[in-house]
Structure 1
Amino acid sequence: MNIALVFEHGDWVLIGVFLTLFAMSVITWALIFNKSLLSWRLRRGNAAFAQAFWQSHSASQALWLAHESKTPLAEIAQAGLLGQQHYRRRDGSTLQAACSMDEFLVRAIRNAMTKALARQQSGLTFLASVGSTAPFIGLFGTVWGIYNALMDIAAAGSASMDVVAGPLGEALVATAAGLAAAIPAVLAYNAFNRFNRTLSQEMDAFAYDLHAYLTTGSAVNMGASETSAPPATTAMVEER
């Protein structure tokens, strides 16, 4: 069946349904491609940055790496290093009296993590909306098409297969179009949610190790995670 017949013989409601589903599908696939590429880059970038960061021999070198890298782990590292420098420059001021360096670093690192995770959530609301509404939009188009088909049958005074098949077939295509838009959106939403949970765990592990080094100069549990620092990293804490 030629889908162009829907636009040739369908009314503005049915055409609007198909155009809406088509727009949803195009945006969905654009988001899937964009976020898939971004997720792949972030995964590789985080691994490369963590390895280079923990091999840094000074705080200035580590801060430069964090500034150059555009990854969530780099943002956390930059927030922690800058937070430590800021706190120590304000030594003896009201900032020190307000909270300890440990608490100040926790706040700085947590804010960086929150911002990084918030950016990863972009587009997921749209995918969830398409996955939940596209089948009903397609069903509405089908119901509307069947209603028009029945009106045509009543006007023709005949219910033969030649009269019924065309209009009903065009109407049922709307349901298929709705499912075609919804299924990729639901699968992509679940996949990106899983990636975000994995990224959140990776960021938690890195932030834990970073906080330990910035406050004590030694790892709490060496080898517990891939982002754990080598002993030489203590220089990042001691350099001032």
Structure 2
Amino acid sequence: MNLGLVFEQGDGVLIAVFLALVLMSIITWVVIVLRGLKLWQAKRGNRQAHELIWSATDVGQAAAQARIVASPISDLTLAAVDAQQQYRRAHGQQLAAAVPLNDYLVRQIRNSMTQILRRFDGGLTALASIGATAPFIGLFGTVWGIYHALINISHSGQMSIAAVAGPIGEALVATAAGLFVAIPAVLAYNAFVRGNKTLAQDMDNFAHDLHVQLLNDKD
């Protein structure tokens, strides 16, 4: 099986199919490396920030500790503390603060969590799209290659097995290439969705505890 023959003997459509699959494969592995590294750093940072924040003696020190480590939990803590301070400054003067502190903190923490977790959705659409379409693109390349192989065989008048097996065998490579591209994309998509789900659960648990802490802070 010589892939070079595909580019030497294949027409523009078959070459375009293989180039598209190569591009999809590059995008898949770039997303896997970048998103995997970002998710790993976020979870490691969350563990460090969690220990630093809950070891603080008051809310002000907790905010200072949160600035030491860059992590989603740190960003959520700073946003929640800032919301608490804004409420106390603007209470009775702004519409946003014309609600009980409990409701105000819930709203601000929820909005902050949504913005923070949205950062980890990048690349998932690309992985899902590649995983869903790559096999069909490869199959299209195979069908197109077989069609042209049969057309060329009919023009040449050679119907031997050797004349048929070579061109069709090269065309079938497109299907294998499509699966080679799609399988890592699907596996990575499932892994990142699972990772984002566990990250959201950890953030939700921390946000609940932080909300209670800020609600009962009298300083």
TM-score greater than 0.5 by the shorter chain = yes
Task: Report what 1:152 is aligned to.
Answer: 152
Corresponding letter in the other structure for 1:185 = A
Task: Report what 1:123 is aligned to.
Answer: 123
Cα shift at 1:27: 0.7
Task: Report what 1:106 is aligned to.
Answer: 106
Task: Report what 1:42 is aligned to.
Answer: 42
Is residue 131–residue 182 contact of structure 1 (8 Å, CA) maintained in 2? yes
Cα shift at 1:94: 3.5
Is residue 139–residue 178 contact of structure 1 (8 Å, CA) maintained in 2? yes
Task: Report what 1:139 is aligned to.
Answer: 139
Cα shift at 1:63: 1.5
SS at match of 1:98: coil
5+ residue gaps in structure 1? 217-236
Is residue 14–residue 145 contact of structure 1 (8 Å, CA) maintained in 2? yes
Aligned pairs for 1:1-240 within 5 A: 1-95=1-95, 98-216=98-216, 237-239=217-219
Is residue 149–residue 167 contact of structure 1 (8 Å, CA) maintained in 2? yes
Is residue 153–residue 159 contact of structure 2 (8 Å, CA) maintained in 1? yes
Cα shift at 1:101: 1.0
Corresponding letter in the other structure for 2:137 = I
Corresponding letter in the other structure for 1:193 = V
Is residue 72–residue 116 contact of structure 1 (8 Å, CA) maintained in 2? yes
Alignment partners' CA distance in 2, 1:132 and 1:111: 32
TM-score by length of 1: 0.87
Corresponding letter in the other structure for 1:205 = N
Is residue 134–residue 178 contact of structure 2 (8 Å, CA) maintained in 1? yes
* Percentage identity across paired residues of the two chains: 53
TM-score by length of 2: 0.96
Is residue 31–residue 123 contact of structure 1 (8 Å, CA) maintained in 2? yes
Alignment partners' CA distance in 1, 2:96 and 2:28: 49
Query: Which deviates more, 132-141 or 156-165?
Result: 156-165
Cα shift at 1:65: 2.7
Cα shift at 1:39: 1.4
Query: Which deviates more, 93-102 or 123-132?
Result: 93-102
Alignment partners' CA distance in 2, 1:187 and 1:96: 44
Is residue 92–residue 98 contact of structure 2 (8 Å, CA) maintained in 1? no
Corresponding letter in the other structure for 1:180 = F
Is residue 87–residue 95 contact of structure 1 (8 Å, CA) maintained in 2? no
Query: What is the CA RMSD across the aligned residues, in angstroms?
Result: 1.4
5+ residue gaps in structure 2? none
Is residue 48–residue 69 contact of structure 2 (8 Å, CA) maintained in 1? no
